[in-house]
Structure 1
Amino acid sequence: MRYRLLFVFLLFFISLIITFGLSKQTREVFFKVTDTIKIHYLEISQSLWQNYDRFLNQAKSIAFYQEKYKQYQQIELELTETKEQLKQILDFYPQLDLYSNTAFQSALVISYVDFLQYDKVWLNTKMPYQKDKIFGIIRNGYALGIAVVENGRLLGLFNGNERCSYSVYIGEKKIPATLHYYAEKKDLVLADFIPQYFNINIGDEVFTSGLDNIFIQNIPVGKVTEILDKNGYITAVVKPYADATFPEYVWLVNKDYNNARK
């Protein structure tokens, strides 16, 4: 434990020296080296913990995964049948484009970008991705934010960050809105630019719309807690479902994955 703390302290101390004392080019080289060290450290740490947990809960885990395996076999058969049905439809009407171009990529959370700012993180994924694409971020089934490529690195911007924005639907009637940060309350976000003729209620569920090509549709975002009337539009205050504290890994939504592999 003490060696781990020493490692973290030295890494933090060196990062401060490099950040404030060296040129931009030198810092970029240094960050590439330290990112590699962090990634290996986190992967080894997670692997050790998973092996330890697997050893202690082996019997329970075997029974659990046996049942899951049966379920996955059933899903695989159902997907195979669906794929064959789609193939028959495409053979009959080849102009249709029914196959999804969306990929879900796991990404390791390396570190926070800035000290004491918990809505910006550096991410790492082993799968290919475009340099000019905005990706959706999902954690535990909820929309957590977006990811962009900045200076050759994958940057995660969580809900509440001033640069995090994406399109959403509100309620069963799927009222369109744009989600962005709430300057007055960092733990909440705003669903904005809703015309006055729409009826929004406290307690309405908010989901991703997928219209901006960032997320797929119907990923839960949060719940409306307050309704504001300003500048000729309705603004809904939303409490996000996703927990941004201490994430180890997240899922990236890449809605144009075929171009990433070219």
Structure 2
Amino acid sequence: MRKFIFILLFIIASLSYLFEVDELLIKKFSFFNDLKVSYINKVISISSNIEKHFDQAKKIEALSIENNELKEYKILYNGAQKQLNAVKEFLVNVDLNQSKPKIELVKVLSYVNFNDFTKVWLDKVPEDENILGLITENYAAGILVNKDGRSVGLLNGNKDCSYATFIGEEKAPGIITASKDQDELLIKYIPIWADIKKGDEVITSGMDNIFFEGLKVGRIIEVIDLPDMKMATVKPYVNVLKKKYFYAYKNISQEIKPVEKAETVEKKDIKDKTK
């Protein structure tokens, strides 16, 4: 029993001594306490920084995924917006008069040949062999033709692109085609008696059943007199080579049916007479 009490008192005395020494060290040597506090703060700071680093890495990864998704949505949005703007421009600017057209928005896919920017593939599936007009805003842009079941756009300036036009207030007729200068067009077969001059406006006539009358093309910048006809150089209003969308125009009400062969007509007459 005495030994137990002695040991207990010894432990108590030792602990008291130790605490007093610790207090003495703190009082006499305060830098130990500062060092201890600094160490603890440093450990806490490092732990916080490590935690922040991993949190930031997760946030950066999440934001990167979200940013890529937003980029994809932006591309889709821009494409849809361009088509919508094209529709708005067409509805606001184009006057279809009293014709009954079939109009379809078509997109330029690529050049047919890389050395010819006036000939492009379009995303329309042709229904027949009819030549359609290509329109941008309120301007004639070229023609659409069927080539082996695919739609080809022959834009203004292409050597194979031609359509009927009227010139000036008197509506002198002519056929527009390509010019040697890529920035200009040429009108041929203008009657020698036609009174045309520099500055006259050129519009589509609709006489070729490709366009309706009134689509703007450009203005005359030069008149050339020949012995049997006149020709005129035209500065077009719009650069169609920069366009990505067009409207394919087809006048259904004025479709021209193919002329029947003489033999077929003769057989029909014989059948009618024998009835």
TM-score scaled by length of structure 2: 0.57
Equivalent-residue separation in structure 1 for 2:102 and 2:172 (angstroms): 27
TM-score scaled by length of structure 1: 0.60
Name the structure 2 match of 1:25.
none
Name the structure 2 match of 1:243.
239
Any conservation in 2 of the 1:167–1:208 contact (CA below 8 Å)? yes
Name the structure 1 match of 2:137.
140
Equivalent-residue separation in structure 2 for 1:144 and 1:51 (angstroms): 22
Equivalent-residue separation in structure 2 for 1:258 and 1:197 (angstroms): 30
Any conservation in 2 of the 1:169–1:208 contact (CA below 8 Å)? yes
Equivalent-residue separation in structure 2 for 1:166 and 1:52 (angstroms): 31
Q: Does 1:156 align with 2:185?
A: no
> 5+ residue gaps in structure 2?
1-72, 256-275
Cα displacement (A) at 1:49: 1.8
CA gap of 1:117–1:176, structure 2 versus 1, over 3 A, is same
- 1:47 is matched with which residue: 76, 89, 105? 76
Cα displacement (A) at 1:243: 1.4
Structure 1 residues 162-171 or 228-237, which shifts more?
228-237
Equivalent-residue separation in structure 1 for 2:167 and 2:117 (angstroms): 27
Equivalent-residue separation in structure 1 for 2:80 and 2:157 (angstroms): 35
Equivalent-residue separation in structure 1 for 2:80 and 2:251 (angstroms): 34
Count of equivalent residues? 173
Helix, strand or coil for the counterpart of 1:161? coil
Q: Does 1:197 align with 2:193?
A: yes
Any conservation in 2 of the 1:141–1:220 contact (CA below 8 Å)? yes
Q: Does 1:165 align with 2:156?
A: no
Equivalent-residue separation in structure 2 for 1:254 and 1:52 (angstroms): 25
Equivalent-residue separation in structure 2 for 1:196 and 1:101 (angstroms): 34
Q: Identity over the aligned pairs, expressed in percent?
A: 35
1:6-25 alignment to 2 at 5 Å? none
1:120 maps to amino acid: K
1:207 maps to amino acid: I
Equivalent-residue separation in structure 1 for 2:119 and 2:149 (angstroms): 16
Any conservation in 1 of the 2:203–2:215 contact (CA below 8 Å)? yes
Any conservation in 1 of the 2:223–2:232 contact (CA below 8 Å)? yes
> 5+ residue gaps in structure 1?
1-43, 54-60, 62-67, 73-97
Greater helix share, structure number: 2
RMSD (Å) for aligned C-alpha atoms:
2.9
Any conservation in 2 of the 1:112–1:120 contact (CA below 8 Å)? yes
Any conservation in 1 of the 2:145–2:151 contact (CA below 8 Å)? yes
CA gap of 1:50–1:109, structure 2 versus 1, over 3 A, is closer
Name the structure 1 match of 2:114.
115
Q: Does 1:209 align with 2:244?
A: no
Equivalent-residue separation in structure 2 for 1:255 and 1:52 (angstroms): 28
Cα displacement (A) at 1:256: 2.4
Cα displacement (A) at 1:247: 1.8
Helix, strand or coil for the counterpart of 1:179? strand
Any conservation in 2 of the 1:110–1:123 contact (CA below 8 Å)? yes
Cα displacement (A) at 1:189: 1.2
Equivalent-residue separation in structure 2 for 1:101 and 1:52 (angstroms): 28
Equivalent-residue separation in structure 2 for 1:144 and 1:136 (angstroms): 8
Cα displacement (A) at 1:248: 1.6
Cα displacement (A) at 1:108: 0.8
Name the structure 2 match of 1:124.
123
Q: Does 1:223 align with 2:219?
A: yes
CA gap of 1:227–1:110, structure 2 versus 1, over 3 A, is same
Any conservation in 1 of the 2:108–2:244 contact (CA below 8 Å)? yes
1:118 maps to amino acid: F
Instruction: Name which one, 1 or 2, has greater alpha-carbon Rg.
Output: 2
